């Protein structure tokens, strides 16, 4: 194990260590640690002195304290990049469970269940402060469950920083329940003019005392060296340069126009800042990339949304465009700007990724400031040099980093990159809905976490290893990040506060480091400020180093919460007027600091299309602010505008009105009791839409072992059930349960069973009688069903009956006495031909039927020519050869006639079809003659089973299966309280695919999924009238997710009624378990049996049961069933009683008269029709858009289409039904119906030029689109979503207007979509991606993958797809309006090329997978490891092959299932025909 001392000259703030490396504390660190055990402290130590190691010591100590049991340690950092770094360090130094959280991780604030689980499963959590504050205020976790809070860079704990917000929640807890606090900073004093006040304020805010090292100061100084500080002066920038004339900015300035959506004023300001700092070339470099990104975006918006065939592959169209297609018109001003950028491209863009400066940059194009910087870099450069240049603005950092790499004087010496923060504007969107930032090449909008980490990793590498040796950074590099100790740190821009001075200087912490302050000649204020910082720092340190345990006053009089030069703290009157709103039921807290963020969060969830700007709250007013909420929120008009109280600052006024709005919206149920606008994320909520707690099912195994209801038991009371076949009582079935009466039609026979009597045996003879009945049943089971002996005790007896339907004990005794029959043939006559069962002693256990007795032949007879016995001289010779075994000789008597027999196929399958699933299988039957043979009569025994009993045995597996199914269905209905769902449908809904039956619950599950979606949608729409579509979507998801269904199924015990047993009965399953006590089973009836099946079967059966209820009794019964199952449907009342409509109709605008005629429905409420055709861009405060109705209509259409498919195609599988539905309800299909059937594009109320233009371009295309084309090739089209949305909203409006009359609404949908329904079939061709995958799997190729790319690197958005086969690009990159379309077109093109044997890229020429597989056949390789945790994606060869194989297996399973089903039915038919 490697051991290193912490704080050596090369150590960083948190030394970058490997997992097996240990860091030992120094004495000064132990000193601070000891003092931290006794009190809350703030460790004031220089950067690089090892503050994080002290926190590690404290963490290890705190977790051992009894008071810390069940609590978590929270490590807070101010920046996202520090989360990964500190979590890695803690993990490497402790065995504790460490979890990390920041905004870049996929865990949403509303995911309460996952937050709680994450904290419970962690010992230490590392996170950014705002996330922890959100967790506390939304009551996901509480402060009393925290043992220690560590504040990294704790000097931020002031004003409205999240650190301070956390401490406000800390002070709300009782002092005995507060966690220990440990702060770390190198800059505890931010205002040098009031040092004592700064300290007192920080101490008050953190409830801690600032301390420094007192006992081991010399050791600290030895390990925290200070750099040499020098001042580098430079001259002001000149007015003119020897530079391009005209420059790029000068040229663009001549063509600036309001017709181009570019913020020229903002660019002008940043241009001059960059020019004054770096020079004209850098300023133009910034302008080029910023404007180029925006122009590319505008051109893409022109080309993509409006062009249905906006597809290209290396400049070529995939399909021939329609004749009427014209290129989109580019505004002249935009075209001019684009042309100017193209002319200047050789100076600023080399087309690489990321873009680099394409030419050397002479010093003449740079400012004196840059020249001075270069002089410093040359003076201090060494082969192992590492340096950081600190600047203020992001665009300056990006441009300077790129330019320095191209300065000829620095060539071969400097390799640099920029490092900037994420940026507040990151991810904002413009009015077109695209990412306005466009992440330009000069990073004006900031860097993502991944790029930050990559840059830091490169900076850690040496120059020789290809690493960076210079960073140009903003303040993001001042604090905490784990950098190598730098030889040179340069403040390129002026210092503004003490914290920045101390933090940036801390990066230069080797004994030979230099800290350079750059100052412009003549700017004495900048120099004076620096000198003040330099001179006053030792005095400031003395303030806290010399103090001996100072007390912390509750309200210090001389405190300061501002840095030098900052605005003063919030007004005391404003602070005194602040409120806290606490939700009593949950403890969630609303504060002035969180209110604005909650309003923004609510608005961010409002869905919007590419043509609608994101919904944003609008604030107005100064010291008495007003808040106007987006009209797309479905709120009463008087709740869209709030007016706040008067405050002494504009910021406080804005917080106050936001606070007021959130309180009011909580009362309107827009925010839930956790003060969140949504209750869950991706189905992970702990509660359903009604606020009911979901049981925890996380520990359920994938394969469950459960007790299932089962009728097959004996017990003290036995019951007789008479089996009748075609009206003839054939046999009796005895078991310990009164089975329900059943009727079963199978292969042309009608089988019924009814319970007649309870059997009573003489007590002294009962055991012997039961043994005799068991032996009889076992022999029949062996001969007729399983073909093998039954060893375990059985739970039911099939017995022969007398004419009075009593047990025929004589027949039973005859079989028991002679179980293998008799050699006595005296009583056998011609009347027994075709009915008498015989058994050849040479072939035990194989039942056969007597066909004829050949008195003219014996075993010594000569076989006729052409017979199968003909090769032998006599029959005897043939029989001896055929039946002789090693263990025994053949028995072939020669003194008896031969008999003709037919082999009797057994019936080991319980396969049957409910009455509703009968099919004509005659076309599948193989009309072949029964296979017969000839054997000696003396070698055969006549078996004593009668024809009726033998026939009953053949049907017994089906009878038992049907009885089991009906019994479980009725027990399920009775015990769960379900409404009277049809038996057959309930049975089908409870039959799992593991049964391998011809039918199971998968079809009903697919239907039930649509039923659940609609019923839940209607309920939450009415329960939450003021929540918008985004909120409703998450509410619905939390109520219909698989997790919710599984939890509710377990809650009601649904697993007790599911049928998972396979149909095949080669091993008789109606037996007493091997480990059970037989006597106990005879004395006590047990109606359960252990079964195993996947846990996901429960959620499938929940939906299947809903589907069964819907088919039985429509929506009303489905609602009753869902309520019984515990689902969120608003109770058992039908919609007709629950929801009503105003009795008086409202006016219908004449604009919609023809629309009502087209849909065949007359509206009662005109405002609903207006709402249904109002796009969000058209809405005003007086009315809502169609979004909520569209959300409802989507669910209605989904169910109507699914019911049509279910009823129209009874043989279709679940997958086929789903595929057909998706084709019918996809955007292009619905858009074509909206345009061609209803002309909704003419009625749609829009206030957006781009959307109107896009619709006008797509309408001609849609008008030529036939229903068949929409179904088969709709994936190729991408019309504006508004066209399909308005159709869905219209359907939703019909449902609401009709007082939620589903059948009436369904008839409207069926009429409107009749053309689509007429051509819709489940036998659809695969989509191009699936077709390529299945074909590739069939051909055996395993080296294919999709590859995403960018058609424009500056947009940083994947929009193109290629197909790569054996590392050859066969098709693409193909670019389309969306990535899904690009993928489909690429797959289609690739399939055509690969399948063309004459093409140079054909699969037969590229692929050698089959040959390679054959070569590997003889190589013994280790089995592959567990890859279940890896995400399978078709962008890797392994993932593509895996998904392709799954699709291929699904296709084959459909064929195999159909073949097996026909074969099973055929074999049974042959067996019964021979009877």
The residues annotated as belonging to the active site are 1194, 1288
Which DSSP string do the residues of 116-144 spell out, in sequence order? HHHHHT-SEEEEEHHHHHHHHHTTSS-GG
144-175 in b/e form (b: 16+ CB < 10 A) is: eebbbbbbbbbbbbbbebbbbbbbbbbeeeee
With residue 764 as reference, give the H or E element that holds it.
none
> What is the per-residue DSSP string for 445-457?
T---HHHHHHHHH
State the Cα–Cα distance between residues 502 and 49, nearest whole angstrom: 13
Measure the CA–CA gap between 1471 and 1198, rounded to whole angstroms. 45
Ramachandran region, residue 747 (left: φ > 0; alpha: ψ -120 to 50; beta: rest): left
Q: In which element (H, E) is residue 1344 found?
A: strand 1344-1349
Strands of the 618-620 sheet, one edge to the other: 618-620, 626-628, 641-643
Contact 517, 492 (CB under 8 A): no
Helix, strand, or coil here: 101?
strand
Whether the Cβ atoms of residue 504 and residue 491 lie closer than 8 Å to each other = yes
Task: Assess contact for 675 and 138: CB atoms under 8 A.
Answer: yes
Q: Give the separation between CA 9 and CA 13, rounded to whole angstroms.
A: 11
Q: Give the strand pairing for 228-234 and 1360-1365.
A: unpaired
Peptide bond into 354 cis (omega under 30): yes
> Residue 356: which of 394, 391, 401, 386 has the closest Cα?
401
In terms of phi and psi (left: phi > 0; alpha: psi -120 to 50; beta: otherwise), the region of 1422 is beta
- Give the count of beta carbons closer than 10 Å to the beta carbon of residue 924: 15
Count H helices and E strands in the chain, helices first: 47, 36
Among 414, 500, 496, which Cα is nearest to 463's? 414
* Distance of alpha carbon 742 from alpha carbon 968, whole angstroms: 13
Q: Name the 3-class secondary structure at 867.
A: coil
**Cα(450)–Cα(1349) distance, integer angstroms:** 18
Give 1379: exposed, middle or buried? Use CB within 10 Å, 0-12, 13-18, 19+.
Answer: middle
Angle at CA of residue 1341, ends 1335 and 1347, nearest 5°: 85
Q: Which residues contact 1441 (CB under 8 A, 6 or more apart)?
A: 1336, 1337, 1342, 1343, 1344
Residues 397 and 394: their CA atoms lie apart, in Å, by 5
Alpha carbon distances (Å) from 418 to 401, 455, 529, 1182: 6, 8, 27, 50
**What is the C-alpha separation between 195 and 559, in angstroms, rounded?**
9
Cα–Cα dist 74/344, whole Å: 52
Q: How far is residue 270's CA from residue 283's CA, in Å, rounded to a whole number?
A: 8
Q: Which of 390, 389, 396 is nearest to 444 (CA)?
A: 396
Both structure tokens of 377: 């870099």
**At a CB cut-off of 8 Å and minimum separation 6, what does 448 contact?**
104, 422, 426
Residue positions counted in the chain: 1475
Q: Which residues is 138 bridged to in the sheet?
A: none
């Amino acid at each position: 194990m490697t051991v290193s001392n912490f704080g050596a000259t090369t150590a960083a703030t948190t030394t970058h260590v490997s997992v097996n490396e240990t860091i030992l504390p120094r004495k000064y660190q132990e000193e601070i640690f000891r003092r931290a055990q006794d009190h809350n402290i703030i460790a004031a130590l220089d950067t690089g002195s090892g503050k994080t190691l002290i926190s590690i010591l404290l963490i290890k100590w705190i977790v051992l304290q009894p008071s810390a049991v069940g609590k978590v340690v929270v490590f807070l950092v101010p920046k996202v990049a520090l989360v990964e770094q500190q979590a890695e360090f803690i993990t490497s130094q402790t065995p504790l469970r460490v979890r990390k959280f920041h905004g870049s991780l996929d865990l949403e604030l509303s995911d309460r269940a996952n937050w709680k689980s994450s904290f419970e499963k962690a010992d230490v959590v590392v996170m950014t402060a705002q996330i922890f504050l959100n967790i506390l205020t939304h009551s996901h976790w509480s402060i009393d469950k925290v043992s220690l809070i560590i504040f990294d860079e704790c000097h931020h704990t002031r004003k409205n920083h999240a650190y301070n917000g956390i401490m406000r929640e800390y002070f709300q807890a009782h002092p005995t329940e507060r966690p220990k606090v440990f702060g770390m900073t190198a800059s505890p004093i931010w205002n040098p003019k009031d040092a004592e006040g700064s300290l007192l304020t920080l101490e008050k805010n953190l409830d801690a005392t600032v301390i420094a090292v007192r006992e081991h100061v010399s050791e600290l100084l030895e390990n925290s060296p200070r750099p040499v500080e020098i001042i580098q002066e430079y001259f002001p920038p000149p007015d003119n340069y020897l530079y391009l004339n005209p420059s790029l900015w000068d040229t663009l300035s001549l063509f600036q126009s309001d017709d181009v959506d570019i913020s020229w004023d903002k660019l002008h300001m940043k241009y001059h800042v960059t020019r004054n700092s770096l020079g004209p070339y850098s300023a133009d470099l910034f302008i080029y990339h910023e404007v180029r990104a925006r122009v590319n975006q505008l051109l893409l918006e022109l080309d993509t949304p409006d062009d249905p065939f906006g597809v290209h592959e290396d400049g070529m169209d995939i399909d021939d465009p329609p004749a009427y297609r014209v290129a989109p018109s580019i505004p002249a001003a935009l075209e001019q700007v684009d042309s100017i950028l193209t002319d200047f491209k050789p100076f600023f863009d080399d087309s690489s990724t990321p873009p680099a400066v394409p030419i050397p940059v002479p010093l003449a194009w740079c400012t004196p400031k840059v020249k001075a910087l270069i002089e410093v870099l040359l003076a201090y450069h060494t082969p192992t040099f590492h340096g950081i240049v600190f600047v203020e603005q992001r665009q300056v950092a990006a441009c300077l980093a790129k330019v320095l790499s191209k300065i000829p004087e620095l060539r071969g010496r400097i390799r640099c990159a920029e490092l900037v923060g994420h940026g507040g504007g990151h991810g904002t969107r413009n009015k077109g809905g695209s990412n306005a930032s466009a992440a330009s090449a000069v990073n004006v909008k900031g860097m993502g976490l991944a790029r930050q980490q990559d840059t830091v990793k490169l900076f850690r590498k040496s120059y020789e290893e290809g690493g960076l040796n210079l960073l140009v950074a903003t303040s993001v590099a001042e604090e905490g990040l784990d950098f190598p100790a730098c030889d040179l740190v340069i403040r390129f821009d002026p210092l503004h506060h003490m914290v920045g001075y101390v933090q940036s200087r801390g990066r230069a912490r080797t004994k030979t480091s230099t800290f350079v302050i750059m100052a412009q000649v003549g700017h004495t204020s900048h120099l004076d400020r620096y000198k003040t910082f330099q001179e006053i720092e030792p005095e400031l340190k003395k303030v806290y180093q010399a103090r001996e345990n100072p007390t912390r006053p509750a309200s210090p009089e001389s405190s300061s919460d501002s840095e030098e030069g900052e605005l003063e703290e919030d007004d005391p009157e404003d602070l005194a007027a602040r409120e806290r709103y606490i939700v009593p039921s949950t403890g969630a807290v609303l504060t002035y600091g969180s209110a604005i963020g909650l309003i923004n969060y609510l608005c961010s969830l409002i869905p919007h299309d590419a043509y609608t700007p994101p919904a944003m709250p609008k604030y107005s007013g100064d010291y008495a602010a007003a808040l106007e909420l987006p009209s797309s929120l479905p709120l009463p008009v008087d709740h869209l505008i709030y007016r706040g109280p008067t405050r002494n600052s504009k910021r406080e006024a804005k917080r106050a009105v936001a606070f007021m709005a959130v309180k009011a919206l909580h009362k309107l149920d827009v925010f839930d009791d956790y003060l969140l606008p949504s209750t869950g994320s991706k189905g992970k909520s702990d509660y359903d839409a009604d606020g009911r707690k979901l049981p925890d099912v996380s520990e359920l195994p994938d394969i469950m072992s459960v007790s299932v209801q089962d009728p097959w038991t004996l017990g003290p009371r036995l019951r007789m059930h008479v089996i009748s076949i075609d009206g003839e009582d054939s046999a009796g079935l005895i078991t310990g349960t009164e089975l329900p009466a059943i009727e079963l039609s199978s292969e042309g026979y009608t089988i019924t069973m009814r319970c007649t009597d309870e059997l009573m045996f003489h007590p002294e003879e009962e055991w012997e009688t039961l043994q005799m009945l068991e032996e009889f049943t076992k022999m029949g089971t062996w001969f007729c069903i399983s073909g093998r002996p039954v060893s375990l005790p059985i739970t039911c007896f099939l017995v022969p009956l007398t004419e009075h339907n009593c047990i025929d004990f004589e027949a039973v005794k005859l079989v028991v006495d002679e179980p293998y029959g008799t050699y006595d043939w005296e009583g056998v006559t011609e009347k027994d031909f075709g009915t008498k069962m015989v058994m050849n002693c040479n072939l035990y256990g194989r039942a056969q039927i007597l066909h004829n007795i050949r008195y003219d032949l014996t075993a010594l007879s000569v076989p006729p020519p052409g017979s199968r016995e003909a090769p032998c001289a006599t029959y005897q010779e043939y029989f001896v050869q055929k039946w002789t075994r090693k263990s025994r000789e053949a028995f072939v008597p020669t003194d008896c006639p031969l008999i003709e027999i037919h082999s009797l196929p057994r019936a080991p399958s319980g396969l049957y079809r409910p009455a509703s699933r009968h099919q004509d299988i005659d076309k599948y039957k193989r009309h072949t003659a029964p296979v017969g043979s000839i054997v000696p009569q003396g070698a055969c025994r006549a078996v004593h089973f009668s024809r009726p009993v033998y026939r009953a045995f053949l049907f017994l597996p089906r009878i038992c299966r049907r009885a089991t199914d009906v019994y479980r269905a009725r027990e399920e209905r009775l015990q769960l309280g379900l409404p009277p769902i049809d038996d057959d449908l309930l049975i089908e809904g409870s039959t799992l695919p593991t049964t391998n039956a011809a039918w199971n619950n998968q079809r009903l599950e697919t239907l039930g999924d649509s039923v659940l979606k609609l019923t839940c949608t209607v309920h939450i729409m009415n329960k939450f009238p003021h929540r918008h579509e985004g909120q409703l979507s998450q509410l619905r998801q939390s109520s219909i997710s698989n997790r919710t269904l599984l939890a509710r199924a377990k809650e009601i015990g649904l697993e007790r009624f599911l049928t998972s047993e396979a149909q095949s009965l080669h091993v008789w399953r109606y037996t007493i378990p091997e480990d059970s006590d037989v006597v106990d089973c005879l004395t006590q009836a047990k109606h359960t049996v252990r079964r195993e099946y996947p846990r996901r079967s429960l959620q499938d059966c929940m939906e299947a049961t809903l589907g069964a209820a819907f088919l039985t009794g429509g929506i009303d019964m489905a609602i009753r069933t869902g309520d019984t199952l515990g689902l969120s449907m608003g109770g058992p009342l039908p919609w007709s009683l629950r929801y009503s409509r105003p009795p008086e109709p409202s006016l219908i605008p004449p604009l919609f008269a023809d629309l009502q005629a087209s849909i065949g429905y007359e509206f009662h409420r005109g405002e609903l029709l207006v709402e249904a055709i109002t796009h969000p861009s058209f809405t005003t405060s007086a009315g809502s858009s169609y979004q909520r109705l569209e959300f409802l209509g989507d669910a209605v259409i989904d169910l109507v289409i699914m019911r049509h498919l279910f009823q129209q195609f009874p043989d279709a599988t679940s997958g086929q039904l789903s595929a057909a539905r998706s084709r019918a309800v996809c955007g292009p299909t619905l858009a074509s119906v909206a345009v061609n059937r209803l002309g909704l594009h003419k009625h749609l109320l829009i206030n957006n030029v781009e959307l109107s233009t896009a619709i006008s371009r797509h309408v001609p295309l849609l008008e030529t689109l036939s229903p068949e084309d929409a179904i088969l090739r709709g994936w190729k089209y991408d019309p504006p979503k508004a066209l399909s949305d308005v159709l869905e909203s219209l359907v939703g409006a019909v449902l609401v207007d009709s007082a939620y009359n589903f059948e009436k609404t369904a008839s409207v949908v069926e009429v409107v979509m009749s053309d689509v329904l007429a051509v819709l079939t489940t036998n659809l061709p695969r989509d191009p991606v699936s077709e390529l995958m299945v074909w590739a799997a069939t051909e055996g190729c395993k080296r294919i993958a999709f590859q995403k790319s960018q058609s424009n690197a500056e947009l940083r958005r994947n929009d193109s797809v290629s197909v790569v086969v054996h590392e050859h690009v066969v098709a693409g990159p193909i670019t389309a309006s969306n990535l899904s379309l690009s993928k489909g077109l690429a797959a289609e093109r690739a399939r055509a090329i690969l399948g063309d044997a004459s093409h140079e890229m054909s699969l037969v020429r590229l692929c050698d997978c089959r040959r390679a597989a054959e070569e590997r056949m003889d190589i013994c390789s280790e089995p592959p490891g567990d890859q279940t945790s890896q995400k399978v994606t078709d962008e890797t060869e392994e993932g593509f092959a895996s998904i392709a194989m799954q699709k291929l297996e699904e296709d084959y399973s459909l064929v195999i299932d159909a073949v097996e089903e026909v074969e099973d039915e055929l074999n049974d038919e042959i067996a019964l025909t021979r009877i």
